[in-house]
Structure formats: C-alpha cells, structure tokens
Amino acid sequence: MARVVSGDRTGALREEASSWAMDYVQRSEDLFEPADADEVRIDLVTDPWSVWCWGLEPVALAIEHRFPAITLRPVVGGMFERLPHHDHPEFNLSRFLARVQRITGMPVATAAFGDGGPESTYPACVHAHAMRLLDADRALLGLRKLRETAWLDGRDISDVDVATGAARSAGYDPEEFRSAVASGEPEREFRQRLSALERRELSAYPTIVVRAGDTTRRLEGFVPLPGLIEVVEQLTGQTHVQAPAPDPAEVLEPGHRIATREIAEVCELSIEAAADELAELEAEDGVERERHATGDVWTVQG
C-alpha cells in the first residue's frame, strides 16, 4: 500500500514558537525534501503508545546493525487525543493486541489497560518531546524506554510519574524531566509537530516515509524488513548492500533490554534458534532472562 507523494513545502511556523521548536518542527516540514544523492532516509511517524511501532523495533534494530547506509529517524506525532475505551463493543483490545503480537513477534503486555488505561496518547508524546528538548542525542533511547515501560512492564506512560521512571532509565535527571514537562514547552512543540504532520496528511501510526534522492515513497502500517528493503531498492534502482548478520552476543548491550524477536531479526535467525543461542549466553555469560507470556526479554547487566 505505497504511494509516491510530492515534495512541495508547506506553510510558515507560528511566530510564537521557540527557536528549538521551530528547528524541530521544520524536520516535519522537510520530510519530503530531497535527500543527498547517495543517501537513503527513512522517517518513522510514531507515537510511544503505538503497539505497531513497538512491533517495528526489530526492523529498526536490523537496519541499524546491517544497513549502515540507511538513516532512520523517529518523528513523534500523536495518535489519539482521546482513546476508545478498552471495553468498547466495537473494539476488542485484547484481540487487537494479540494480533499485533502474532504478526510482529514482539512481547506485548496489556496490564496498562487493566483499569481503563490512558485516556489519550498525547501526554506520552509530550513526554517524548520533553526528552528531545533536554537531550536530543538521548531522545531515541528515551523513546525506547517509554515503549518498554508500556509494552513490557504494562504501565501507563501517559502518567508523568511513570514517564519520569522511563526518563531516569534513559539517563535523564528526573527533576529536570519533570520541570521540562511542567514548563509547557514540550506541549507547545508537540502541537507544532502534530500540526505539521496533519498538513502532510500523515495521520497513520506508523507511517514510514522512505526517501532516496528526490523520490519519496510513503508506507502506512507495519512493514516487515524484506518489504522495506525492497522499497529502498525500487527507489534506488540497485541492490542495497547489507553487513553480515552479527552474533547475538554482539547485539546485546549492558543495561539494555532486548526481545528474542529483535535478536532473531538482526541475526537472521528463527525465533527458536535465537532463543537457544540466548539461553546459552544466559548460562555462560551472565545474560539475564525476563520471561513474558508473549516472548522473553534479555539483559546484560552493566
């Protein structure tokens, strides 16, 4: 379900926006600006609460390890100002999450919705913007920690106390994070970003925007790694060289949690083979296993 879209620029930013917000939001406006001649850029329109985006984590990690010529960056928008209630008669949340888990292979906890869950995904997006404001280089890790907190720990990342814990685990100072959220600046920047995405009609989560030179392809929804690389090769007109698949031990990082499905994707292994190799590392090298009903998670203690 891909379609080529144009690269025209859109309207001016609000005058009252901060210089940081203007720079940040301009990146939304530039989604369809030409890439360098030899550059392939993938922008992922995302929301920390998007379970399909959580399901894309193995694809993102595989690109990082095996396709160094591709630049992948998240563009944090916002899915739902008001979420449908989890027991809405026309929306079966448990069935939906089970389907996502089955297709993506990523572990998916549902506990965050046990008491009704968050009313909106927007506060979690503001929390991601606060991390970007405080330390842009650490923001990708912060986004990952928010997702882990939601989909591994089953906690409500729209709650600022919960989000503060995720920020701390990403290396942010908790009080600085709280102060940033309370300042209102991340909220303003989030609204600017959301407006810029809406003008581009980028409202599906995830939306994957692939850019090679002056050609753009927009993909909506979950896309497996082979399908995404096929699109890259269609745009570039050449086979995209990939690095050899690493060993699982090379992918694990001290203090970072990684799902069996992610190791399988990066290392080109079946889920079963990845689990076997990780179990050997657990016995020999101090890798700790975190058991989940829908898939295990592994950590090297740092």
Chain mean position to CA 29: 20
pLDDT at site 301? 75
Locate the DSSP E strands across 195-286.
207-212, 215-220, 257-259
pLDDT at site 87? 60
Q: What would the mean pLDDT of 157-179 be, rounded to a whole number?
A: 97
pLDDT at site 286? 81
Cβ 171 vs Cβ 138: under 8 Å:
yes
- Please check whether the two domains, 2-199 and 248-300, share a CATH topology: no
Q: Where are the domains of the chain?
A: 2-199, 248-300
Model confidence over 110-136: pLDDT tens digits? 877 766 678 899 999 999 999 999 999
Q: What is the CATH number of domain 2-199?
A: 3.40.30.10
Q: What is the CATH number of domain 248-300?
A: 1.10.10.10
Percent above pLDDT 70 for the chain: 84
Model confidence over 254-296: pLDDT tens digits? 989 999 999 999 999 999 999 999 999 998 878 999 999 899 9
Q: Is the pLDDT of residue 104 over 60?
A: yes
Which amino acid is located at 261 in the chain?
R
Facing residues of 257 across strands?
A: 299
pLDDT at site 284? 81
pTM of the shown model: 0.87
Q: Is the pLDDT of residue 1 over 80?
A: no
Q: What would the mean pLDDT of 181-206 be, rounded to a whole number?
A: 93
In this structure, is the dihedral angle defined by the CA atoms of residues 181, 162, 78 and 219, taken in order, positive or negative?
positive
pLDDT at site 289? 95
- Name the phi and psi angles at 159, rounded to 5: -85, 130
Look at 39 and 199; give whichever has higher pLDDT: 199
Q: How far apart are CA 246 and CA 77, in angstroms?
A: 33
Q: How many CB atoms lie within 10 A of CB 230?
A: 13
